[in-house]
C-alpha cells in the first residue's frame, strides 16, 4: 500500500529591513535569509521594500482607505504568515523608516495582529540589541508574537569581515545562527496557527 505523506504547510514570511542605505548590512541579512530559506522545506521569504512608503499622516486616510502604496504594503503584511525584521539600531531604538512602516500597517484594522515574528540586527556597539528590545515592546501593543531564542546581534562595525564588499553576510557561524532563527520562526508560526 502506498504511504501518503502530508505536505508541509507553506509559511510565507515577509522580511522588512529598517535601513534604506544601499550597502545596508541589515539588507544583507535579509538577502542571506532568503538564500538560506531555499534549503528549508515549507518556508518562503519575500523582501518587502519600505522605502516607497510615505510618512504617516492620518489626514491621508479616507474612510478605511489608504494611499495606494500604503494599501499595497498593508496587503503584503496581511497576506504574510509571519515576519522577519532586520533592524539597525538608531539612537538606542528602531529606525524612523521601520517605525513608520510599522505604524502604517497598525492603523485599523491592525494587520500585524496574531502573527509570529523574529528579529535580527547588525549595528554598532551591542549589535542592535536595544533596537530589538524596543521592537519587542512595540509588538506588545500590535499583538505581534516574537520568538525569544536564538538571538542574533551582529556588531558589523567591529567585525566588518563578516560581510563582503557588497554587504552580503559571509560568516559561516552567523549564517548557521540565521538559519536556526528561520527554523525557529517556522515552528513558532505553525504552533501559533495550530498546525503543529
Ligand X SMILES: Cc1cc2nc3c(=O)[nH]c(=O)nc-3n(C[C@H](O)[C@H](O)[C@H](O)COP(=O)(O)O)c2cc1C
Binding site for ligand X (CB under 6 A): 19, 21, 24-26, 88-92, 122-125, 156
Give least dist CB 93 to ligand X, A. 7
Q: Could you give the angle at which helices 68-79 and 96-106 cross, rounded to 10 degrees?
A: 80
> What burial class does residue 47 get, using C-beta atoms within 10 Å of its C-beta: 0-12 exposed, 13-18 middle, 19+ buried?
middle
Q: Which is nearer to ligand X, 66 or 90 (CB)?
A: 90
Contact 8, 42 (CB under 8 A): yes
Distance CA 85, CA 27 (A): 10
Alpha helices, DSSP H only, in 17-128? 25-37, 68-79, 96-106
Q: Which is nearer to ligand X, 81 or 89 (CB)?
A: 89
If residue 119 lies in a helix (H) or strand (E), which one and from where to where? strand 115-123
Q: Which is nearer to ligand X, 83 or 188 (CB)?
A: 83
Q: Which is nearer to ligand X, 24 or 186 (CB)?
A: 24
Give least dist CB 87 to ligand X, A. 9
Give least dist CB 92 to ligand X, A. 5
Give least dist CB 130 to ligand X, A. 7
Amino acid at each position: 500500500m502506498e504511504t501518503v505523506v502530508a505536505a508541509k504547510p507553506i509559511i510565507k514570511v515577509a522580511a522588512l529591513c529598517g535601513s534604506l542605505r544601499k550597502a545596508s548590512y541589515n539588507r544583507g541579512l535579509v538577502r542571506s535569509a532568503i538564500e538560506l530559506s531555499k534549503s528549508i522545506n515549507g518556508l518562503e521569504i519575500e523582501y518587502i521594500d519600505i522605502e516607497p512608503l510615505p510618512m504617516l499622516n492620518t489626514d491621508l486616510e479616507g474612510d478605511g482607505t489608504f494611499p495606494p502604496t500604503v494599501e499595497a504594503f498593508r496587503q503584503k503584511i496581511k497576506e504574510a504568515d509571519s515576519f522577519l525584521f532586520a533592524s539597525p539600531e538608531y539612537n538606542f531604538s528602531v529606525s524612523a523608516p521601520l517605525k513608520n512602516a510599522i505604524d502604517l500597517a497598525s492603523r485599523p484594522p491592525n494587520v500585524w495582529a496574531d502573527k509570529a515574528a523574529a528579529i535580527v540586527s547588525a549595528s554598532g556597539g551591542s549589535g542592535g540589541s536595544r533596537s530589538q528590545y524596543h521592537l519587542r515592546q512595540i509588538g506588545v501593543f500590535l499583538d505581534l508574537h516574537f520568538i525569544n531564542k536564538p538571538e542574533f546581534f551582529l556588531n558589523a562595525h567591529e567585525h566588518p569581515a563578516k560581510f563582503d564588499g557588497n554587504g552580503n553576510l559571509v560568516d559561516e557561524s552567523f549564517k548557521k545562527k540565521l538559519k536556526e532563527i528561520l527554523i525557529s520562526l517556522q515552528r513558532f508560526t505553525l504552533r501559533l496557527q495550530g498546525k503543529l
